[in-house]
């Protein structure tokens, strides 16, 4: 991809529109049908290590941290290794206990984010094993880590991350599948995930066909006082990223909460001027999510659901194609990137260069 805008009015729009091709690229040459696994050339992690590690800790900032949260869930689900993600900036300042049986993974688009790089250096000084999930080839974090997975999103110019976030989530799915197949994920499940991964580019293109309707919805949200984003488990990092995206590019205040936490406080914020975006996949938590929609409706809150089927309690539903449940977060975030983009467009914001923000934060 060139740096040319290629007929788009902003890089953000260009980069959202490129995602089907970008995902195709992160998958290319890596799917191994014979063994129902993936080939990750630069990973540098042998089967014995993959079997014996006891934890995975993922570190990144901003959107990279959210993609890391998706990755941690995928690793737990597919490889059954306890995994979590933490902002790199928090990790490095809390004098962490560095555990020799934990695999640390630094995640970054630029590979130059100071806090993430400093976390890697601190880990290495203490003898930690650190891999990278990085977009920019040869960047500082790519060089400092012991190996890893390149994200292959191509150049991302807009300050706000879109295609790199999506590709990073897919790169984590590859890593989770790889670890899973070394551990206890069956051939059948391995094949199921591979088939799901192959469907992603076509399904992303399908979501993009709904852009006009999302633009109309965004125009309605442009005068919102604040917005609430909710999701459960797989849907929660999607809600966090969508909330960040809206804040960064439209300057509308937004909160992201696990749907289950609403009743523990934030429900007090719900009123007609504070719309809610709810992530409602057709998974084992569907009924719980529907109960949340009812709670919001009872407080006269306007609801936009991102779901696999029309949601009766929602005022509007954006229906996304079904894939394998573990891959839902990859698809569910995409309409919400469009929502943030069109809300910012309706408000006349400087979309590619939001105020006060830099593409990569290379200072403390
Ligand atoms: C993304 O929309 C942000 N601009 C920001 O949160 C970014 O993800 C963060 O600064 C980390 O950057 P990196 O991925 O280059 O490390």
Query: Per-residue pLDDT tens for 334-353?
Result: 999 999 999 999 999 999 99
63 lines ligand 1 (CB under 6 A): yes
Q: Which of the four pLDDT bands, split at 50, 70 and 90, describes residue 1? A: very low
- What's the average model confidence in pLDDT over 37-64? 97
Q: What is the DSSP string of 32-100?
A: ETTTTEE--TT----HHHHHH--EEEEEE-HHHHHHHHHHHHHHHHHH---EEEEEHHHHHHS-PPPPT
CB 143 within 8 A of CB 130: no
pLDDT at 364: 82
Query: Per-residue pLDDT tens for 205-216?
Result: 999 999 999 999
Position in ligand 1 atom list of the atom nearest CA 248:
2
Q: Which of the four pLDDT bands, split at 50, 70 and 90, describes residue 254? A: very high
Active-site annotation holds for 359: yes
How distant is the alpha carbon of residue 285 from its chain centre? 19
pLDDT at 257 over 80: yes
- What's the average model confidence in pLDDT over 135-149? 97
pTM (2 d.p.): 0.97
Query: Per-residue pLDDT tens for 40-50?
Result: 999 999 999 99
Position in ligand 1 atom list of the atom nearest CA 61:
11
pLDDT at 253: 97
pLDDT at 3 over 80: no
CB proximity list for 241: less than 8 A, separation 6 or greater? 63, 66, 67, 165, 333, 336
Closest C-alpha residue for ligand 1 atom 5: 62
For residue 347, how far is its CA from the centre of ligand 1 (angstroms)? 23
Q: What is the DSSP string of 100-134?
A: TTEEEEEEESSS--HHHHHHHHHHHHTT-EEEEEE
Q: Which of the four pLDDT bands, split at 50, 70 and 90, describes residue 300? A: confident
pLDDT at 62: 97
Query: Per-residue pLDDT tens for 93-124?
Result: 998 999 999 999 999 999 999 999 999 999 99
pLDDT at 290 over 80: yes
pLDDT at 303 over 90: yes
């Amino acid at each position: 991809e060139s740096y040319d805008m290629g007929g788009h009015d902003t890089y953000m729009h260009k980069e959202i529109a490129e995602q089907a091709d970008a995902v195709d690229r992160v998958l290319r040459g890596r799917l191994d049908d014979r063994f129902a696994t993936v080939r990750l050339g630069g990973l540098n992690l042998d089967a014995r290590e993959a079997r014996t590690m006891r934890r995975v800790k993922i570190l990144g900032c901003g959107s990279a941290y959210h993609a890391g949260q998706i990755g941690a869930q995928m690793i737990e689900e597919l490889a059954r290794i306890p995994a979590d993600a933490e902002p790199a900036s928090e990790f490095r300042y809390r004098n962490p206990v560095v555990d020799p049986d934990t695999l640390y993974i630094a995640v970054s688009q630029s590979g130059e984010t100071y806090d993430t790089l400093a976390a890697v250096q601190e880990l290495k000084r203490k003898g930690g094993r650190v891999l990278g999930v990085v977009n920019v080839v040869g960047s500082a974090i790519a060089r400092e880590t012991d190996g890893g997975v390149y994200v292959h999103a191509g150049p991302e110019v807009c300050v706000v991350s879109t295609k790199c976030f999506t590709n990073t989530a897919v790169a984590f799915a590859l890593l989770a599948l790889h670890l899973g197949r070394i551990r206890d994920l069956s051939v059948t499940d391995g094949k199921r995930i591979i088939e799901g991964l192959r469907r992603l580019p076509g399904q992303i293109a399908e979501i993009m066909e709904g852009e006009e309707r999302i633009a109309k919805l965004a125009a309605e949200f442009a005068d919102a006082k604040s917005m609430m984003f909710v999701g459960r488990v797989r849907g929660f990092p999607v809600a966090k990223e969508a909330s960040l995206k809206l804040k960064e590019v439209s300057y509308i205040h937004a909160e992201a909460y696990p749907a289950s936490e609403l009743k523990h406080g934030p429900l007090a914020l719900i009123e007609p001027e504070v719309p809610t975006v709810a992530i409602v996949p057709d998974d084992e938590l569907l009924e719980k999510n529907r109960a949340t929609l009812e709670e919001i409706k009872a407080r006269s809150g306007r609801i936009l659901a991102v779901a696999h089927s029309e949601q009766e309690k929602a005022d509007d539903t954006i229906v996304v194609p079904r894939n394998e449940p573990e891959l839902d977060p990859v698809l569910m975030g995409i309409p919400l990137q469009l929502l943030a983009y069109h809300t910012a467009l309706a408000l006349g914001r400087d979309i590619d260069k939001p105020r006060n923000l830099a593409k990569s934060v290379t200072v403390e």
